[in-house]
Amino acid sequence: MVELLNPILWHSIVAAATFFVLPTLGEIYAERSGILNLGIEGMVIAGAAGSYAIAYQTQDILLGVLFGMFIGGLLATIHAILTITFNRNQVVSGIGLTILGTGLSGLLGDAVVGKALKGIDSTPIPILKDIPTIGEVFFDQNIFVYLSFILAPILWFILYKTRIGILIRSVGENPSASMNQGVNVRLIRYLCVIFGGMMAGLGGAYLSLGWLNFWTDGMTQGRGWIVIALVVVALWNPLGAFIGSYLFGMFDVLQFSFQHEAIPFIFPTGIPPSVLKMMPPVSTILFLAIWGIILSQQKVKSIVGAPTALAKPFED
Amino acid sequence: METVLEMQNVCKTFYGDGVEIHANDNVNFSLKHGEIHALLGENGAGKSTLVNNLFRKPDSGTILLRGKEVELSNPIAALRHGLAIARQDLSKSLIERHTVAENILSISEGFFLSLSRIEREITSALNKYELGDIDPKTKIWKLSGGEKQRVEILKALITDPEIIILDEPTSMLTPPEIVNLFSLLNSLRSQGKSIIIITHHLEEAINYCDRITVMRHGEVVATLETEKEKNAWVSEEEGIRRLATLMVGKEVLYELARKKMEPGKLTAEIQGLFTTNDMGDTVVNGVSLQLKENQILGIAGISGNGQQELVEAMLHWRKVDSGKVLIHGKKIDGVSIVQDITGKSIREIRDLGIAYIPEDRRKALILDLSIRENLILNSYRKSGGLFIDQKSIVNVTEELISIFKIKTPSALSSVRSLSGGNRQKVVVARETTLAPPEGRKLILIAENPTFGLDVGTTQFVREELLRLREEGAAIMLISSDLTEVLALSDRIAVMYKGKIMGILNSQEATREKVGLMMGGSTLQEVIE
Ligand SMILES: Nc1ncnc2c1ncn2[C@@H]1O[C@H](COP(=O)(O)OP(=O)(O)OP(=O)(O)O)[C@@H](O)[C@H]1O
Ligand SMILES: [Mg+2]
């Protein structure tokens, strides 16, 4: 039996979950403003390659991270121009972005495939790290992980307690109504989409520099797509981003631990890796289905759910 | 008096399906300092388009503010120049999922959002303007139509504008609320504000406005000084007739001929119905009613007394907590068949020949589909087979468009491109022509069917209802317009706080009696 209470296991779950948290937070902002960006996968992978390449060349991790964010933001800007300024279809543009980002990652990362680089060390937090188990799991991590702990509540606060937050939510709910009150709908959407791209780039940088410490083509293994689903699971709430992300972080890690587990009658010789690999996508679909049923209730719909204007073209 | 706002040779053209719609064709309009100026016209005359030009540039023409040419290319610019508007289409103006306070963004400032400060400001503004009790913490979707309209008006006034534009602000208000609104406008006028108000209630223009501009087919046909005209008119009725003639371009008949008819057989029945509103409060408290063929049953009441929920529960838009809705079928072997439709699917209910004109047009229209597609939403299944019989649909829809005078270049234009009143015509056209199954007569449930319609069309729809009644239809008419209920109904049930206060027949129903019962008096109290 897998040692489910093993702190080391949970330590790696936190590390895996952090990867999901960062881009999910960004996409929540983009979608809250009404723009669906399906290009997460592309922005993440280009961010991962770009940041690793720059960090390797300059031997400066911080520069690498910043470059990853820049790449993510740049790609998102393309999406913003197409969908906000020119009112193009958001789904098509987003998928195009993924293809572009994946291509770009091959180019950026070409020189550093398989090259080793010392990534980011963990920085244990004094005092907190000494809490039994919890300290080991949560407070002996690297700076990215702490950043995700801090960012989620900050972004929640901004969204719900500040003026810019209510503007973002208004724009995503009803752009005409917002515009009629003098809100610059386009500007707010641009900012949110670009911020979303930078967060995706940051997630990519974490993937290659903070978590797995290498770069190879296609290393995201489609995790960027999961982020799209996580936004739904999070109910477009930055704090909710944690719930889904940790769940999927768990699947991500446990699929390796369960490989040698035998289940009587079904898999007497151990669960085949192919089945375990299916866990994240299958559970995503399950989750979305359950969520979909709950959210489709009229009464619930008027309280929570997708921003009303999400992915709808807006022409004043 | 000094002119504060002037629009010169303003043009605005829309393009739909290759056809140009000249919504505003060289319009000249001026607003004087400290006046209330009414803007009248048929549905689709271009009234909303004209005032919207102040918040987005028109195609051509000049806009002068206090004699100086300005460019008002977006709402922000207009706001800065001291203009504010309460819009006709609230779905484009209010955010349903946000609270009242969150909807009034224009008074928020700084980085942090102090909702409690905004809420306080809203409450004090509501009191100051006497716009009634609305909790700023309520979500918009929980408000009634009239409450939403008052929020929209407040949203315009709270920025303390010099020029106030109200696009059909009274369409969902009760008579006392309308009186209140105009006394508010009066006091704003005496503070030197200038006001443009668009309305289909011509008596409002005559009684409260200093000048009246009438539009027809995208052009201004006349601007009148109300006081001067009043001297020439012998009565308010004559004034209304004159204005209507100007709007339509020809005489409009104002008499409704309600033939005397014996009530037919019982066709639908509501028994002890209870239901709750979206917040979970019981708002329909044991309502029992009977619908008979050849009869119009009017439901009078101030909106928000459970009428809407009652209808929704009847038609399965809302869960019935207890009680029944029965449909009486034809007699077989001397026994009449009774069908319980409580909780049946909407399709089963509609297949029995029950038509519904909802108050909220969004429940009845798919804005992005064409007019033709919206007109056949009820009947497309009848064509049978896999494909839609295009030819008959084309004929039927062309006929409806011409009978109901739906103002559009083509049946293929989207409903979204229609003016508010013309959208309503699409709903009325479709629902009143619903064909009941063999051996049944139409049952029509109409909620404020003339809401947002111009005088001519209002008259037309009312005549339609009377014609249907003569053909045998049983009609339930829910209306907050007392005049309409009194003019059309054979029996009038008055609803107050979810209960029926009593049912009067058309001989005994007077404006006073019904009015008292709408305020909570029982039938006994009123008769004594
Ligand atoms: N966005 C649009 N696209 C195409 N046509 C439009 C659009 N907006 C308005 N129109 C057309 O312009 C004309 C004038 O519309 P407008 O909304 O100004 O009428 P209105 O006088 O306000 O009518 P109502 O009393 O029904 O509100 C109508 O024929 C309408 O169909
Ligand atoms: Mg209008």
C-alpha to C-alpha distance for B392 and B46, rounded to whole angstroms: 32
Ligand 1 atom with the shortest distance to the CA of B413? 4
For B8, the token pair is 């010169």
- The answer to whether the beta carbons of residues B135 and B294 sit under 8 Å apart is no
In terms of Cβ atoms closer than 10 Å to its own Cβ (0-12, 13-18, 19+), residue B437 is: exposed
Is B494's pLDDT higher than 90? yes
Q: Give the type of residue at B31.
A: L
Residue B21 pLDDT > 60: yes
Chain A with chain B: Cβ pairs closer than 8 A: 75
A315 at interface of B, judged by CB pairs closer than 8 A: no
* Residue A235 exposure: Cα atoms within 13 Å on the Cβ side: 15
pLDDT at B281: 83
Which is nearest to A209 in space by CA: A115, A293, A88? A115
For the segment B187-200, the average pLDDT, to the nearest whole number, is 95
Query: Which amino acid is it at B152?
Result: E
Q: DSSP state, B234?
A: S
Q: How far is B447 from chain A (nearest CA, A)?
A: 22
The alpha carbon of residue B420 and the mean position of all alpha carbons in its chain are separated, in whole angstroms, by 9
Which domains occur in chain A, in start order?
A: 7-304 (1.10.3470)
CA B90 to chain centre: 11
pLDDT of res. A133: 78
Ligand 1 pocket, residue B21 CB under 6 Å = yes
CB within 8 Å: B92 and A180 = yes
A163 vs B95, B96, B110: nearest CB: B110
The number of the ligand 1 atom at minimal distance from the alpha carbon of B218 is 14
Query: How close is the Cα of B32 to the center of ligand 2, in Å?
Result: 22
Confirm or reject: Cβ of B88 under 6 Å from ligand 1.
yes
Q: What is the CA(B430)–ligand 1 centre distance, in A? A: 20
Order the strands of the B295-300 sheet from edge to edge. B354-357, B443-447, B474-479, B295-300, B491-496, B499-505
Which atom of ligand 1 has the smallest separation from the CA of B15? 4
Flag whether residue A167 sits within 8 Å of chain B, measured between CB atoms. Answer: yes
Find the mean pLDDT for residues B304-310: 89
Ligand 1 pocket: which of B15, B17, B21, B53 to mutate (most atoms <8 Å of CB)?
A: B21
* 3-class state of residue B64 by DSSP: strand
Q: Give chain B's mean pLDDT.
A: 89
Q: In angstroms, rounded to a whole number, what is the distance separating the alpha carbons of residues A58 and A70? A: 16
What tens digit of pLDDT does each residue of B244-266 get? Answer: 999 988 877 667 788 888 888 89
- B43 Cβ inside 6 Å of ligand 1: yes
Q: What is the pLDDT of residues B25-84, one digit of tens each?
A: 999 999 999 999 999 999 999 999 999 999 998 999 999 999 999 999 988 899 999 999
Q: Please report where in the chains the tokens 């290009």 appear, as a residue.
A: A39
Could you report the per-residue pLDDT of B366-409, keeping only the tens digit for each?
888 999 989 988 776 665 666 667 777 888 889 999 999 898 88
Q: Give the residue whose CA is nearest to atom 6 of ligand 1.
A: B417
The mean pLDDT of A2-8, rounded to a whole number, is 73
pLDDT tens by residue, B159-179: 899 999 999 999 888 888 899
Q: Is any ligand 1 atom within 6 A of the Cβ of residue B37?
A: no
**Separation CA B23–CA B46 (nearest Å):** 5
Tell me what pLDDT residue B352 has.
87
Q: Is A178 on the interface with B (CB under 8 A)?
A: yes
pLDDT in tens, A128-181: 888 887 888 888 888 999 999 999 999 999 999 999 999 999 999 999 999 988
Instruction: Give the pLDDT confidence score for residue A294 in this predicted structure.
Output: 78
Q: Of B12 and B333, which is predicted with more confidence?
A: B12
Q: At CB < 8 Å, which residues of chain B contact A?
A: 55-56, 74-76, 79, 85, 87, 92-98, 102-103, 105-106, 108-113, 139, 141, 155, 278
Q: Which residue did the predictor score with more confidence, A191 or A270?
A: A191
Ligand nearest to the CA of B42: 1
B52 lines ligand 1 (CB under 6 A): no
Q: Which pLDDT band holds residue B188 (cuts at 50, 70, 90)?
A: very high
DSSP B280: S
Taking CB atoms and an 8 Å cutoff, what residues of chain A touch B74? 179, 182, 316
Protein residue with least CA distance to atom 18, ligand 1:
B46
Find out whether B288 and B273 touch, Cβ atoms under 8 Å: yes
Percent of chain A past pLDDT 70, that is, above it, reads 96
- Asked if residues B441 and B353 have their Cβ atoms less than 8 Å apart, the reply is yes
Question: Predicted confidence band at A31 (pLDDT cuts at 50, 70, 90)?
Answer: very high
DSSP structure class, residue B459: H
> Which residue on chain B is closest to A174 by alpha carbon?
B95
For A181, the closest of B56, B96, B105 (CB atoms) is B105
**Chain A residue with minimum CA distance to B278:** A299
| Distance from Cα B363 to the centre of ligand 2, integer Å | 19
Cα of B46 from ligand 1 centre, angstroms: 6
Chain B within 8 Å of A177 (Cβ-Cβ)?
yes
Listed range (B113-117, B225-229, B319-323, B446-450) with the worst mean pLDDT: B113-117
Would you say how long chain A is, in residues?
316
- Kindly report, residue by residue over B426-469, the tens digit of the pLDDT: 999 999 998 888 888 899 999 999 988 888 888 889 999 999 99
Write the CB contacts of A59 (distance below 8 Å, at least 6 apart in sequence). Answer: none
Cα B44 to middle of ligand 1, angstroms: 5
A177–B92 C-beta distance less than 8 A: yes
Decide: helix, strand or coil at residue B375.
Answer: helix
Work out the angle at residue B74's Cα, subtended by the Cα atoms of residues B68 and B79, and round it to the nearest 5 degrees.
Answer: 65
A86 C-alpha to center of ligand 2: Å? 28
In this prediction, residue B467 carries a pLDDT of: 92
B169: phi then psi, degrees, rounded to nearest 5: -75, -15
Question: What's residue B386's pLDDT?
Answer: 66
- The ligand minimizing its distance to the Cα of B49 is 1
Give the distance (Å) from ligand 2 centre to CA of residue B216.
Answer: 13
The ipTM value here is 0.87
The pLDDT of residue A316 is: 65
Measure B23 CA to ligand 1 centroid, in angstroms.
Answer: 6
Alpha helices in chain A (DSSP H): 7-32, 40-58, 61-80, 90-109, 134-138, 143-161, 163-173, 175-180, 185-205, 223-233, 240-257, 273-295, 298-301
| Closest partner CB to A167 (pick from B92, B105, B139) | B105
Q: Do B111 and A177 touch (CB under 8 A)?
A: no
Closest residue by CA, ligand 1 atom 1:
B417
Do B488 and B459 touch, CB atoms closer than 8 A? no
pLDDT, tens only, B315-331: 888 888 899 899 887 66
Q: Mean per-residue pLDDT for B280-304?
A: 90
pLDDT at position B382 is 64
Per the prediction, chain A carries an average pLDDT of 89
Q: Specify the pLDDT at position B275.
A: 92
Provide, as residue numbers in chain B, all residues whose Cβ is less than 8 Å from the Cβ of A180.
55, 75, 85, 87, 92-93
Q: At what angle do helices A223-233 and A40-58 cross, to 10 degrees?
A: 130
Tokens linked to B302: 């101030």
> What is residue B458's three-state secondary structure?
helix
A166 to chain B: closest CA residue: B102
Answer yes or no: is the C-beta of B49 below 6 A from any ligand 1 atom: yes
Cα dihedral B501, B502, B506, B508, rounded to 10, equals -100
Query: Å from B135 to nearest chain A CA?
Result: 17
pLDDT of A203 strictly over 70 = yes
The answer to whether B11 and B25 are in contact (CB under 8 A) is yes
For residue B11, count other CB atoms closer than 10 A to its CB: 16
Nearest CA to ligand 1 atom 25: B43
Residue B89 exposed, middle or buried by CB count within 10 Å (0-12, 13-18, 19+): middle
Chain A residues with CB-CB distance to B76 below 8 A: 182, 184
State how far the Cα of B54 lies from the Cα of B30, in Å rounded to an integer: 13
Q: Return d(Cα B204, Cα B175) in angstroms, integer.
A: 11
DSSP string, B98-130: SBHHHH-GGG--SSB--HHHHHHHHHHHHHHHT
pLDDT at A2 over 60: no
Supply the pLDDT for residue B380: 67
Which residues lie across from B37 on neighbouring strands? B196, B211
Q: What is the pLDDT of residue B123?
A: 93
Out of A56-60, B335-339, B346-350, B381-385, which region has the weakest mean confidence (pLDDT)?
A: B381-385
Closest-CA residue of A relative to B138 is A303
For residues B206-211, average pLDDT? 95
* Burial of B339: CB neighbours in 10 Å, binned 0-12, 13-18, 19+: middle
More confident position, A298 or A180: A180
If one counts every other C-beta atom within 10 angstroms of the C-beta of residue A99, the result is: 12
**Of A72-81, A214-223, B158-167, minimum mean pLDDT range:** A214-223
Confidence of residue B18 (pLDDT cuts 50, 70, 90): low
Cβ distance of A180 and B55 shorter than 8 Å? yes
Q: Has residue B294 got a pLDDT over 70?
A: yes
Q: Predicted confidence band at B105 (pLDDT cuts at 50, 70, 90)?
A: confident
Q: What are phi and psi of A34, to 5 degrees?
A: 105, 0
**Taking a C-beta distance cutoff of 8 angstroms, is the pair B411, B401 a contact?**
yes
What one-character DSSP code corresponds to residue B138?
Answer: S
Task: Tell me which residue in A177, A179, A302 faces B94 most closely, judged by beta carbons.
Answer: A177
Residue B449's H or E segment, with its range, is: none
